[in-house]
A and B are shown apart, each in its own frame.
Chain A
Amino acid sequence: MSFITGVGLTSYGKHEGSSSLDLMSQAAQLAIADAGLKRSEIDGVLCGYSTVSPHIMLATVFAEHFGIKPSYAHAVQVGGATGLAMTMLAHHLVEAGIVEHVLVVGGENRLTGQSRDASILALAQVGHPNYEVPLGPTIPAYYGLLASRYMHEYGVTQEDLAEFAVLMRAHARTHPGAQFHEAITVADVMGSKPVAMPLKLLDCCPVSDGGAAFVISRERTGEAGVRIRGCAQAHTHQHITAAPALSELGAEISVAKAKQAAGVAISDVRYAAVYDSFTITLAMLLEDLGLAGRGEAAARVRSGHFGRGGAMPLNTHGGLLSYGHCGVGGAMAHLVETHLQMTGRAGNRQVRDASIALLHGDGGVLSSHVSMFLEQVR
């Protein structure tokens, strides 16, 4: 058994003057306090990476900076899937009895610590250094390629994709920590600047500063009972040139394995937290995970299915698209929000029932996938 005993999240946006370590520390402090633990009780540390301040030993750099001496510590790098991959590892570490309380932490001053060009350039390096990067693709272009193909095969339109941006913005408007609070419409998305067609500016997540952290423990540390019920990964390729057919992508594989590990069905799920680096990412993943039929996710957005009051509330904090994306911490905010929902602490965003949640993360160009089921335990 493993429990998520505490969560911490900063606001996303500009944190002028904060380093990656500062943002990681802020989030870590919040998560440890939320778990009701003392920092000396943390015996495991897993952290992600910072593109602004790369280091070959970030976990021990962080531990020293934060002032703890863990018995287990290292960094993990799986792109956007890093947060859930660390959580999966923490789950297995505490289940195996190796450590009692693992601090999982990510944070980066990606917005104010470097130029937007530098961010775009650093991220484009997930492409193949010889066969792709010299052609000048960007991360939006890799996903733009996916979008063009997905739209072609399943009859999805740009207006359909825009619905996801509008939904995430509507959710972000109810969270004070979100980077964007201004309402947007489908027409706004359609009229926003072209980035890598068919993706336009409002189809893309922003670059943000921020930090997020959780504590994964063998036993509960308080009233809150959020248990990791089961999780799984799938890695089918790194580069889009080498990606399999749309029907053979990793999300379907990882969610099938996670369902088996957790012993739950999609029909049991009451809350969804799904990676949304671009509108196309969210559309494809929802359909790959079985949360919507092929080509039908946008219709479900329009009908309110994924809204706070809908049958399957989705990313109620606003997701990467509107809460913000600070790298590793970006998708960790999805888990923090899920935890708040499962423990009845989401305030004006609280959903009626979050008893079983499905979380899914994607790294690279739909290259690496982690699916995870969380369960509310009374």
Chain B
Amino acid sequence: MSEKPADWTTGAEAIVYQRCAACGAMQYFHRSFCASCGSPDPEPKQASGAGTVYATSLVCRAATPETRAHVPYNIVLVDTEEGFRMMGHGDNELAIGDKVTARFVPFAGRSVPYFEKV
């Protein structure tokens, strides 16, 4: 079984997804199998960080002291150019449909994907 390569969820500055060789499905949440067809070991791939904004919500009320320090912060869903959807942070001014690219910024003790307009 393939190991999960380091990505932002484990402290590296990378966005990783998986592609199933059997059925071609893509998935963002790492698993040891393809959630579409059940085949084992979908191939991990690094995403470019490019995509299009699908939805946004500017968080103005956070629930912990660590996150409150960052208020307001924009939570965004991005449809990546590779074809999967992911959640990240983004510029407060982002609008649905904006073309964006990711960099990484510190947030509540870790480095998280941050999307800005291309």
Contact = CB atoms under 8 A, between A and B. Distances in A.
Given A135-B112, A241-B86, A241-B87, A117 B60 contact: no
A148 B57 contact: yes
Contact of B60 (A120, A148, A194): A194
Nearest to B29: A131
Contacts of A193: 60-61
B63 A120 contact: yes
A135 B86 contact: no
Contacts of A128: 29
Interface string A234-252: 0000011110000000000
Interface residues of B, number: 33
A131 B28 contact: yes
A144 B58 CA distance: 8
B62 A138 contact: yes
Contact of B61 (A135, A140, A146, A149): A140
A130 B76 CA distance: 16
B9 A134 contact: yes
For the residues of A in contact with B, the DSSP-based class is helix
A135 B86 CA distance: 11
For the residues of B in contact with A, the DSSP-based class is strand
Interface in A135-169: 135-138, 140-149, 152
Contact residues on A (Cβ < 8 Å of other chain), bracket: 35 or more
Nearest to B77: A145
Given A131-B9, A134-B110, A240-B77, A149 B54 contact: yes
Interface of A: 117, 120-121, 124, 128, 130-132, 134-138, 140-149, 152, 193-199, 239-242
13 contacts: A130-B9, A136-B59, A138-B59, A138-B62, A138-B63, A140-B59, A142-B57, A145-B77, A149-B55, A149-B96, A194-B61, A199-B57, A241-B87
Given A117-B63, A240-B77, A241-B86, 15 more contacts: A120-B61, A120-B63, A128-B29, A136-B64, A136-B108, A137-B59, A140-B61, A145-B57, A145-B75, A147-B57, A148-B57, A196-B59, A240-B87, A241-B29, A241-B85
